[in-house]
Amino acid sequence: MRTHPLSARIVTATASKTDLPDLDRKGCEDLVTGMGFKGFHGRSLFKWIHKHGVVDCEAMTDLPKALRRRLLDETCVRLPRPIAVQPAADGTRKWVLELADGQRVETVSIPEGCRTTLCISSQVGCSLACSFCATARQGFNRNLAAGEIIGQVWHATRALGAAPTNIVLMGMGEPLANFDAVVTAMGIMQDDLAYMLSKHRITLSTSGLVPNIYRLRKVSEVALAVSLHAADNALRDRLVPINRKYPLEALLPACKAFVAGDKRRRITWEYVMIDGVNDQITHAKRLIRLLEGIPSKLNLIPFNPFPGSDFRTSPREQVETFRRRILGSGIMATTRKTRGDEIAAACGQLVGRVRDRSRRTAGWQPVVEATAP
């Protein structure tokens, strides 16, 4: 098949260009020194992008003219583009962001008093197939690049007029399945020349990719949340299928190791409360036994329904009874307030536009219209 020579050139040219938001401070320094300029200009470049929100290299007035020209010629800026914003009555806002290849992901900001928590996505879709999650039903397309992850923070900072005070990697995707890009993006979040977030204010949520929990411990000290949802393998196999690969007897030691050596660290366990499935007192007792000896906080999340799901939310009293039983054992337990559910921005309700490559969506009811390729 013949392609138009010009369009082929454009595509190749863009693909080979460095996308500036993919770079952390060190990446910017290396880029600039590689072009023959002093490293401090790289720090300046990084600060322009993330602190000042300026991505037009012409406007970076303290960079040498010759460097600006090189950047214009040899780099690009492919930040996700907001194409829709939905505000909810409780102040929650959900953005639909379109990526350079037309895929879409969602980002949610949740204000609470003087804090604003931003919930960001790490992948287009998700490959883990948790049975109670809307994102899972869409299947999986690809990992987000570091620039597409931090780009969500970049965008929210501009839209909200201030950087979020907390970030949770609890949007679409499994962050530990996109390890390098997620670690780079989390580094940018913490950088003084960028968003200045302390490691305590960044929470990575994982369904339990055990080897990468160990890897994460070596490179980052952010807070870890683990989607537990069941305290025995038989039930967890059904709810969180990655459990078949990394069962509880592998997951728990990894989590223990993650918080070892620092008395202030603890694991946040997420536990979605599904009516009649995992919300009985016997489940609570099993959970207490399982978590014994691990510094823990339990976060109960009432199941958020979505079209096509057969699960039901546990009744409020059941959640309270369960929570009190856990509290009685000395484990701290809270119930997550459902925020933004009228705009489908609550946990497990995020869906973008995903061209499924995992073929999982075949035979499922689509949650959103599939797009033409």
Site string for ligand SAH, 133-172 (x = CB under 6 A): x------------------------------------x--
Asked if residue 138 lies in contact with residue 352, where contact means CB atoms within 8 angstroms, the answer is yes
The set of residues, in sequence order, having a beta carbon less than 8 Å from that of 202 and lying 6+ positions away, is 166, 167, 168, 169, 186, 189, 190, 222, 223
Q: How far apart are CA 288 and CA 322, in angstroms?
A: 11
**301 counts as binding ligand SAH under rule CB under 6 A:** yes
**303 counts as binding ligand SAH under rule CB under 6 A:** yes
Residue closest to ligand SAH when measured from CB atoms: 348
> Of these residues, 28, 130, 133, 347, which one is catalytic?
347
Site string for ligand SAH, 330-349 (x = CB under 6 A): -----------------xx-
Burial 201-230 (b: 16+ CB within 10 A, else e): bbbbbbbbbbebbeebbeebebbbbbbbbb
**Near ligand SAH by CB under 6 A: residue from 109, 116, 141, 205:** 205
Sign of CA dihedral 116, 121, 122, 128: positive
- The answer to whether 106 is a known catalytic residue is yes
Q: 157 vs 212, which CB is nearer to ligand SAH? A: 212
Q: CB under 6 A: which stretch of 52-60, 76-84, 201-209, 213-221 binds ligand SAH?
A: 201-209
Q: 54 vs 129, which CB is nearer to ligand SAH? A: 129
Question: Interface residues for ligand SAH in 233-272 (CB under 6 A)?
Answer: 270, 272
Asked if residue 31 lies in contact with residue 87, where contact means CB atoms within 8 angstroms, the answer is no
> Of these residues, 106, 148, 174, 270, which one is catalytic?
106
DSSP per-residue codes, 130-194: -TT-HHHHT-EEEEPPHHHHHHHHHHHHHHHSS--SEEEE-SSS-GGGGHHHHHHHHHHHH-TTT
**296 counts as binding ligand SAH under rule CB under 6 A:** no
Shortest separation between residue 136's beta carbon and ligand SAH, angstroms: 8
**118 counts as binding ligand SAH under rule CB under 6 A:** no
Q: 156 vs 367, which CB is nearer to ligand SAH? A: 367
Asked if residue 206 lies in contact with residue 267, where contact means CB atoms within 8 angstroms, the answer is no
Residues annotated as part of the active site: 106, 347
